[in-house]
């Protein structure tokens, strides 16, 4: 996912390598619980949204120089710094503030590595030019982008999106999140994909228009709660298909058109993988809708999470695009996303 530029009133967002799809809220007389208590019904969305998350702790993404890399061999790319001398660290700027208040040659750092918390004694250097103390590491505390929301559950207000996790662009690791927010887009632009060069979405988002939040980022997408359901009124809930109910053949996805209106686009499910446990690549799909091919060139970055519907059931969501054929890509079983 590429980083975005924040302005005072707006967030200009670019391509997110994973897309998200959220479900919409429905105010209707239909009692979903009464439809069938043994089945799960959700509202498929196909809604493109802005996504921003704050990391849990501060993620080390690189070293300032080879010299500092040799000095601080105890710090590695992918480490999550959570404390310095018993002071919690939640933002990148806090590291410099803490170091300059301590003015020590060595500091005790608590970090999380491969899921385990450990303590390290870390060398601190004083920059002769700025007279500031630093550990010589590049860090990140925030990630933002855009994607497609997959479903909304009107029973508990939850949503699921992306179909795969949000990973750090530098380390490739799944990001541990402290909190995340979802924003309403004001305009969506598409760079068409072609063979060897996948397309991408870009959009503008007003940072004050928050429609939901999330605190879960797994290998099968993000999950959270929708706060503003005004965009999702009067939408029809569909049954979530069991994986054995998905079949090869005709289906459709939900995705915004040029006017940002959600519409159906025809696809074909070419291949289905037998799976007894969750994986993000459950099927191969092909875009066959001429309008969507003309508009996007096929599957584009930012479309991950677009819901796949077959026989009036939510069967899956788009997760990946084939670089050598942007009309094709992978999808995940919807059942894995709602677990």
User: What is the token pair recorded at 109?
Assistant: 């750092």
Strands 80-84 and 106-113 come out as: antiparallel
Please tell me which residue, 34 or 332, carries the higher pLDDT value: 332
Would you state the pLDDT for residue 20? 35
Residue 319 shares a structural domain with residue 272:
yes
Domain boundary among 135, 168, 196: 135
Secondary structure class of 211 (helix, strand, coil): strand
The tens digit of pLDDT for each residue in 141-161 reads: 998 889 999 999 999 999 999
Would you state the pLDDT for residue 162? 95
Of 231, 235, 234, whose CA–CA distance to 44 is shortest? Answer: 235
pLDDT at 95 over 70: yes
Residue 88 inside a domain? The answer is: yes
Contacts of residue 284, defined as CB under 8 A and 6 or more positions apart, other chains included, come to 269, 270, 271, 328, 329, 330, 331
Separation of alpha carbons 243 and 304, rounded Å:
19
Residue 60 inside a domain? The answer is: no
Separation of alpha carbons 310 and 113, rounded Å:
42
Q: How confident is the model at residue 89 (pLDDT cuts 50, 70, 90)?
A: very high
Looking up residue 228, the CATH number of its domain turns out to be 2.40.10.10
The tens digit of pLDDT for each residue in 51-85 reads: 999 998 999 988 876 555 556 567 888 899 999 99
User: What is the token pair recorded at 198?
Assistant: 């996948």
289 is catalytic: yes
Separation of alpha carbons 163 and 318, rounded Å:
7
HSE value, Cβ hemisphere, 13 Å, CA-based, for 274 = 0
Q: How confident is the model at residue 244 (pLDDT cuts 50, 70, 90)?
A: very high
Domain boundary among 112, 135, 158: 135
Would you state the pLDDT for residue 169? 84
Apex 202 CA angle, 45 and 211, nearest 5: 45
HSE value, Cβ hemisphere, 13 Å, CA-based, for 271 = 7
Residue 271 shares a structural domain with residue 325:
yes
Residue 258 shares a structural domain with residue 172:
yes
pLDDT at 275 over 50: yes
Question: Domain range for residue 237?
Answer: 5-55+142-338
Domain boundary among 90, 118, 135: 135
Q: How confident is the model at residue 25 (pLDDT cuts 50, 70, 90)?
A: very low
Residue 169 shares a structural domain with residue 217:
yes
Residue 217 inside a domain? The answer is: yes
Would you state the pLDDT for residue 68? 57
Q: Which one of 23, 280, 282, 289 is the catalytic residue?
A: 289
Cα Dmax for the chain? 70
Would you state the pLDDT for residue 30? 46
Separation of alpha carbons 263 and 281, rounded Å:
24
Residue 325 shares a structural domain with residue 183:
yes
164 is catalytic: yes
Contacts of residue 263, defined as CB under 8 A and 6 or more positions apart, other chains included, come to 254, 255, 256, 257
pLDDT at 270 over 90: yes
Question: Comparing 31-35, 211-215, 282-286, which segment has the lowest mean pLDDT?
Answer: 31-35
Residue 174 inside a domain? The answer is: yes
- For CA atoms 150, 296, 232, 182, give the dihedral sign: positive
Separation of alpha carbons 52 and 42, rounded Å:
24
Residue 158 shares a structural domain with residue 107:
no
Would you state the pLDDT for residue 222? 97
Q: How confident is the model at residue 13 (pLDDT cuts 50, 70, 90)?
A: very low
Residue 89 inside a domain? The answer is: yes
Q: Do residues 120 and 92 make contact, with C-beta atoms less than 8 angstroms apart? A: no
Q: What is the mean pLDDT of the chain?
A: 85
Residue 221 shares a structural domain with residue 192:
yes
Would you state the pLDDT for residue 23? 31
Phi, psi of 132 (to 5 degrees): -110, 150
Residue 194 shares a structural domain with residue 94:
no
Question: Comparing 20-34, 44-58, 206-220, which segment has the lowest mean pLDDT?
Answer: 20-34
Task: Tell me which H or E stretch contains 294.
Answer: helix 290-296
Would you state the pLDDT for residue 3? 34
The tens digit of pLDDT for each residue in 125-143 reads: 888 888 888 888 899 999 8
Q: What is the mean pLDDT of residues 323-335?
A: 96
Q: Which one of 164, 202, 280, 320 is the catalytic residue?
A: 164
Residue 277 shares a structural domain with residue 330:
yes
Would you state the pLDDT for residue 186? 78
Share of the chain above pLDDT 70, in %: 86
pLDDT at 99 over 70: yes
Question: Comparing 47-61, 165-179, 211-225, which segment has the lowest mean pLDDT?
Answer: 165-179
Looking up residue 105, the CATH number of its domain turns out to be 2.30.42.10
- Please count the structural domains in the chain: 2
Secondary structure class of 192 (helix, strand, coil): coil
Q: What is the mean pLDDT of residues 27-46?
A: 67
Q: How many CB atoms lie within 10 A of CB 250?
A: 12
Residue 299 shares a structural domain with residue 195:
yes
pLDDT at 22 over 60: no
The tens digit of pLDDT for each residue in 285-321 reads: 999 999 999 999 999 999 999 999 999 999 999 999 9
Of 96, 333, 94, 51, whose CA–CA distance to 217 is shortest? Answer: 51
Separation of alpha carbons 254 and 235, rounded Å:
12
pLDDT at 86 over 60: yes
Q: What is the mean pLDDT of residues 196-211?
A: 85
């Amino acid at each position: 996912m590429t980083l975005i530029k924040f302005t005072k009133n707006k967030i200009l967002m670019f391509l997110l390598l994973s897309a998200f799809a959220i479900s919409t809220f429905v105010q209707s007389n239909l009692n979903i619980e009464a439809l069938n208590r043994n089945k799960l019904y959700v509202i498929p969305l196909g809604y493109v949204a802005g996504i921003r998350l704050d990391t849990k702790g501060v993620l080390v993404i690189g070293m300032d120089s080879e010299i500092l890399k040799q000095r601080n061999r105890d710090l590695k790319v992918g480490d999550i710094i959570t404390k310095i001398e018993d002071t919690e660290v939640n933002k990148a700027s806090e590291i410099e503030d803490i170091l300059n208040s301590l003015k020590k040659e060595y500091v005790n750092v608590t970090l999380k590595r491969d899921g385990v918390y450990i303590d390290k004694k870390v060398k601190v250097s004083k920059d002769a030019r700025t007279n500031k103390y630093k550990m010589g590491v590049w860090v990140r505390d925030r990630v933002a982008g855009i994607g497609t929301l997959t479903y909304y559950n009107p029973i508990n207000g939850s949503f699921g999106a992306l179909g795969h996790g949000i990973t750090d662009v530098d380390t490739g690791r799944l990001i541990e999140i402290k909190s995340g927010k979802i924003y309403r887009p004001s305009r969506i632009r598409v760079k068409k994909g072609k063979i060897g060069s996948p397309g991408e979405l870009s959009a503008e988002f007003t940072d004050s228009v928050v429609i939901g939040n999330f605190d879960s980022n797994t290998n099968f997408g993000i999950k959270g709660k929708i706060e503003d359901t005004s965009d999702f009124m009067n939408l029809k809930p569909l049954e979530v298909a069991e994986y054995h109910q998905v079949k090869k053949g005709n289906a459709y996805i939900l995705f915004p058109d040029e006017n940002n209106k959600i519409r159906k686009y025809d696809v074909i499910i070419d291949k289905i993988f037998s799976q007894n446990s969750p994986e993000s690549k459950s099927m191969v799909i092909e875009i066959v809708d001429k309008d969507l091919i003309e508009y996007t060139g096929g599957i584009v970055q930012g479309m991950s999470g677009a819901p796949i519907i077959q026989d009036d059931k939510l069967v899956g969501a788009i997760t990946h695009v084939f670089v050598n054929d942007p009309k094709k890509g992978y999808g995940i079983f919807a059942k894995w996303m709602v677990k």
